[in-house]
Structure 1
Amino acid sequence: MKEFLQLMRRFVSPYKKYIGWAILLNILSAVFNVFSFTFLIPILSILFKTEGADKVYHYMEWGSGDLAEVAKNNFYYYISQMIVDNGPTVALIFLGLFLMIMTLFKTGCYFASSAVMIPLRTGVVRDIRIMVYAKVMRLPMSFFSEERKGDIIARMSGDVGEVENSITSSLDMLMKSPIMIILYFATLVVTSWQLTLFTIVVLPGMGWLMGVVGRKLKRQSLEAQSKWSDTMSQLEETLGGLRIIKAFIAEDKMINRFTKCSNELRDATNRVAIRQAMAHPMSEFLGTILIVAVLWFGGTLILGQNATIDAPTFIFYMVILYSVINPLKDFAKAGYNIPKGLASMERVDKILKAENKIKEIPNPKPLKGLNDRIEFKDISFSYDGKREVLKHVNLTVPKGKTIALVGQSGSGKSTLVDLLPRYHDVQEGDITIDGTSIRDVRIADLRSLIGNVNQEAILFNDTFFNNIAFGVENATMEQVIEAAKIANAHDFIMEKPEGYNMNIGDRGGKLSGGQRQRISIARAILKNPPILILDEATSALDTESERLVQEALERLMKTRTTIAIAHRLSTIKNADEICVLYEGEIVERGKHEDLIELNGYYKRLHDMQQL
């Protein structure tokens, strides 16, 4: 319950007005319900000639005695007069009509209390989804290297959906049930405190049984949601690797793997569903035990020599007690559903409460552009805290110059350039722009200065225009076309039936590898940043396209500060400085000709590519 209350404080606060209306309407619904049942006693006592039917009632002035006694007496008086004046049949019709009106008011308030909670339920779920998505957008890249994408998708879809189905759908019951239980129990106390005391003694044992089952349900729900994440992860991996799966004729292997995972999910879900299905039968059985126990105890009170309750009042008491059973069952059902939802919320909180180590200082310095140089000062970095990926790297990138990074895979080239836009934070040393540490400026200002073209062209399921204009506010068609021309993309775009308005498919699936890369380059060109990071920018292009794009990039790089990662040494021959990385250290640096003459590691790389 503590976890649930904390959840309510976190997400329900903006919707307090809905809770207020729901409480008021539920109180009215319960009052109308109790008031309609009070007709049972006079109907049984007077209409059907039970004990006390011959008693003559006289009108009492309001305020002449105890309010409850006066109200009861006058109620009986009016019904007696109705029977005398109109006869039992007409009186029964009037009482029935009055009961219908009370029921209409009760059900109307009941419906309104449910309807007023719908905006709260849907609003809470929407807020959680937005918060998770916003958190994912702001988490550092290191978080996603440790988490599976399928697991994150499962938490945003399955787990948030489970919160909606289990917790927010239970809010309605949690609002209604306690109000009805309190009002009904108050009525029971007024009717017979002895019977109510007996009932209260019996109830805690039943509540304890419910709690035992509910606690086990949460543990099983965590297991089931974990299996759901595994299933989603396998699906995501399959969709991303279909080409390789088919190439290696591994369809049956993947199907068997997915079948095994699905069977485990089914078994875990079965255990949760079976325990959840136990809620209604168990509460029904326990409710019947309660009714039987009260019937026995009430019978002893009526049949005893000093009866404290008469038969009509006892029947009224039983009706009210039976009315308590339904809200108690709803309360028990919510008690079963909520642990399942809390298990899902616990998984969602692993994202919401994940620490973002990339933080801004309270009063960051302004950063408008690059005026002088970028400096990497004694940089050391490791991903796991054990093996260093970069070791005491020192590098100066003057404004307008092109610095190339070369070396074998895993030497730290991509890691080094990822530190500049603060995808990761350096652990030792510092990176400065014009003498200002990048940790002392706004991240948005820093990244607005940098344009990226990566080895893998990352595109979106959108049009050519929107992919090229991505991140550039109010870009015009003329600007997009100019950027596409520079990137050698305009011609093949215009060959498409819809031109720049054509959707390129998921991750640009309708395009070739070279076309995707040229769209990615056009996007960086349109952003027009002072700093360019080219991570194997031409690796996916054919020979002719590579030549054209390389020329365009070289024209663009003349007025930009560029850090280029390259495996094809032919693409960086004209760089102002080439830095050779080996196992996280810069082992050679200089121009292409100088490094060839040095006859070192760079020369060996060059000779291997020549061969």
Structure 2
Amino acid sequence: MKDFFAIMRRFLPPYKHLLGFNFLFNLLSALFAVFSVALMVPMLEIILSQDSEVHELAAWSFNFSDLKQNLYYYITQLKSSYGPGLSLLFVGIFLVLGTFLKTGFAYLASYTSIGIRNGVVRDLRHQIYQKILQLPIGFFSEEKKGDIIARSTGDVQEVENSIMSSLDMFLKNPVLILVFLVAMLLFSVQLTLFVFVVLPVAGFIIGRIGKSLKKTSREGQNKMGDLLGIIEETLSGLRIVKAFNAEKRMDERFEGEVEDYKSIMNRLMRRRDLAHPMSEFLGTIVVVILVWFGGTLILTGTDTINAAEFLGYLAIFYQIINPAKAFSKATYNIQKGLAAYDRIDDILSANIAIEETENAKSIDSLKQGIEYRNVTFAYQETPVLRNVSVNIPKGRTIALVGQSGSGKSTFVDLLPRFYDVKEGAILIDGIDVKDLKIHDLRNLMGNVNQDAILFNDTIYNNIAFGVDDATPEKVEEAARVANAHEFISSFTHGYNTLVGDRGGRLSGGQRQRISIARAVLKNPPVLILDEATSALDTESEKLVQEALEKLMANRTSIVIAHRLSTVRNADRIHVFQDGEIVETGTHDELVEKGGVYQKLNELQMR
């Protein structure tokens, strides 16, 4: 339970006012519950028995015996004046009023606890999403997307269903149990002490069973992450699955994981469903022992409690049984929910490797240029870049060429600090990028990638993405520069056309031109083009290349290209091989050298 209270300390502080109201309403509900039960005792004693009549009024005080005597006195007067029948009706009316107030305050307590519960779940979801946005790209290359989605959805749902559904029990039941125990002590100290001995034994047995749930539940949550991972991979690669007739193989793989998940959940749910019958069985044993012990006290005359008071005592004890059983059920649920929260906490507590320095500097323009100074970088052990030095003056275009895996994409990913260099430094206008504000640094740059990343939204919102002051006129102007306005206007809904998941309703050339329009609208000083035309047909490539040339005019540009024809006019071309720059120069200079670039050029010419 220590982990449960740690979670509560983390998420409950914003709801202190609701917690205060919840405690007050639960306390009032418990007091009126005791009041309703307590009225039964004088009703039984006075109305049904002449021996319990009281004809003297005691001095008012907070002494329980004096309060009891005065209550009996007024009921005796009521009986003498109106007779047993009407007296019974009057007492019944008080019982109804007490029950109304009890249930009314119980509802108000539940009303406030719902606000707390849903507020905490909302905060948890928001914190996860915020953390996903803050975590470096490297974190997601090491984790399965399906597992992250499972933690953000299924695990949060499990926390809501298990831990947060039990929150109401922990806000209400301690108050109820405390008030009922005080009332039981007032009825009989000896009987209540006996209950204190018997109940913990039953609670210990239930707690031992509940502890085993956490491990099994964690296995189930991990397996669900694997299932969602397979589904995500299948949806992303469905074309390949069908092309290679691999439906049976994927189905067998998924079936095996589903079978494992079924076995885990069988164990988990069978153990969880043991909570109710076990608590009911143990509760019955406790009641039988209590009735035997109380009956013995009454029959032997060793205690001051009488038969009517013992019946009232049992009524209050039954009021304790339901909260106690709810505690046992909550224990099972919480263990299950804690396993899900542990997986969520793996994200919430993940280290944000890309952090902003305390006195980071602001920057809003590029004045001199960019310099890579002896940069070395490795994802794991083997370096991807080795001692790379490049100078990019403002307004110049440099191109990066070389075989796949030579370090070109890593080179440009280091500039906006998607990753941090291991050795060396990257400087903008002579300032290390680690000393700049991350938002300002990335605001200097616009990206156009090989795989145009569009969101399931309108064309307008995709072009205006990340630009706060976008207007329809500016969006249309950006689309014209990107050679996109013509095809956008041909759609029935124009700029309000939905592009579908990842832009699936558009062709590759259309997606790429919208991506270019987005970069045009941002109007960044530095432009990064990563294989922007490699996946296009000839006609689309021509349109996109024209748009890129307009975009690159008078900008500092870094272009990654496999098609050397697209970078012939670059001011400087850097040839990468195994993480190092092996050649540098213009197109003509590199061809004359007859080295790596010349070989690549000849292969493409052929």
Q: Same fold (TM over 0.5)?
A: yes
Matched residue SS, 1:400: coil
* Letter aligned with residue 201 of structure 2: G
For structure 2, the 5+ residue unaligned runs are none
The one of 400, 417, 421 equivalent to 2:412 is: 417
Is structure 2 residue 370 aligned with structure 1 residue 355? Answer: no
2:298 alignment partner in structure 1: 302
1:541: Cα distance to partner? 2.2
1:223: Cα distance to partner? 0.8
Is structure 2 residue 442 aligned with structure 1 residue 447? Answer: yes
Residue correspondence of structure 1 range 370-519 to structure 2 within 5 A: 370-384=366-380, 386-519=381-514
2:38 alignment partner in structure 1: 38
1:305: Cα distance to partner? 4.8
Matched residue SS, 2:383: coil
Is structure 2 residue 572 aligned with structure 1 residue 608? Answer: no
2:8 alignment partner in structure 1: 8
Matched residue SS, 1:459: coil
Matched residue SS, 1:268: helix
1:599 alignment partner in structure 2: 594
Residue correspondence of structure 1 range 261-272 to structure 2 within 5 A: 261-272=257-268
Contact 2:373 2:426 in 1 (8 A): yes
Cα separation, partners in 2 of 1:106 and 1:602, compared to 1, 3 Å: same
The one of 537, 550, 570 equivalent to 1:542 is: 537
2:270 alignment partner in structure 1: 274
The 1-side partners of 2:496 and 2:52 are apart by: 89
1:48: Cα distance to partner? 2.2
* Letter aligned with residue 87 of structure 1: G
Is structure 2 residue 105 aligned with structure 1 residue 117? Answer: no
* Letter aligned with residue 30 of structure 2: A
1:450: Cα distance to partner? 0.4
2:174 alignment partner in structure 1: 178
Contact 1:358 1:425 in 2 (8 A): yes
2:550 alignment partner in structure 1: 555
Matched residue SS, 1:54: helix
**1:190-220 deviation line (CA, Å, top 9, x unaligned):** 1111111111111221111121112111111
* Letter aligned with residue 504 of structure 1: V
**1:477-503 deviation line (CA, Å, top 9, x unaligned):** 222222212222111111111111100
Is structure 2 residue 232 aligned with structure 1 residue 236? Answer: yes
Matched residue SS, 2:25: helix
**1:242-266 deviation line (CA, Å, top 9, x unaligned):** 1111111222222222222222222
**1:389-409 deviation line (CA, Å, top 9, x unaligned):** 000001011111111000100
The 2-side partners of 1:415 and 1:112 are apart by: 58
The 2-side partners of 1:366 and 1:18 are apart by: 42
1:111: Cα distance to partner? 0.8
* Letter aligned with residue 302 of structure 2: N
1:153: Cα distance to partner? 0.9
Single out whichever of 495-504 and 472-481 deviates more from structure 2.
472-481
The 1-side partners of 2:9 and 2:603 are apart by: 64
Give TM-score, length-normalised by structure 1. Answer: 0.97
The one of 576, 583, 605 equivalent to 2:578 is: 583
The 1-side partners of 2:343 and 2:303 are apart by: 58
2:59 alignment partner in structure 1: 62
Matched residue SS, 1:406: strand
1:55: Cα distance to partner? 4.6
* Letter aligned with residue 57 of structure 1: V
* Letter aligned with residue 408 of structure 2: K
Contact 1:496 1:502 in 2 (8 A): yes
Matched residue SS, 2:51: coil
The 2-side partners of 1:597 and 1:175 are apart by: 80
Contact 1:191 1:313 in 2 (8 A): yes
Structure 1 moving runs of 4+ over 6 Å: none
* Letter aligned with residue 573 of structure 1: R
Residue correspondence of structure 1 range 309-320 to structure 2 within 5 A: 309-320=305-316
**1:439-479 deviation line (CA, Å, top 9, x unaligned):** 00100100000000011110000111111111111212222
Contact 2:57 2:73 in 1 (8 A): no
The 1-side partners of 2:39 and 2:517 are apart by: 80
The one of 191, 194, 201 equivalent to 2:197 is: 201
For structure 1, the 5+ residue unaligned runs are none
The 2-side partners of 1:55 and 1:542 are apart by: 101
* Letter aligned with residue 117 of structure 1: S
**1:112-153 deviation line (CA, Å, top 9, x unaligned):** 100111111111000011110011001100001001111111
1:22 alignment partner in structure 2: 22
The 2-side partners of 1:509 and 1:549 are apart by: 18
Give the number of aligned pairs: 606
Contact 1:517 1:540 in 2 (8 A): no
Contact 1:463 1:504 in 2 (8 A): yes
Give TM-score, length-normalised by structure 2. Answer: 0.98
* Letter aligned with residue 582 of structure 1: Q
1:519: Cα distance to partner? 1.0
The 2-side partners of 1:374 and 1:245 are apart by: 44
The 2-side partners of 1:555 and 1:124 are apart by: 50
The 2-side partners of 1:307 and 1:576 are apart by: 103
Is structure 2 residue 365 aligned with structure 1 residue 369? Answer: yes
The 1-side partners of 2:208 and 2:542 are apart by: 71
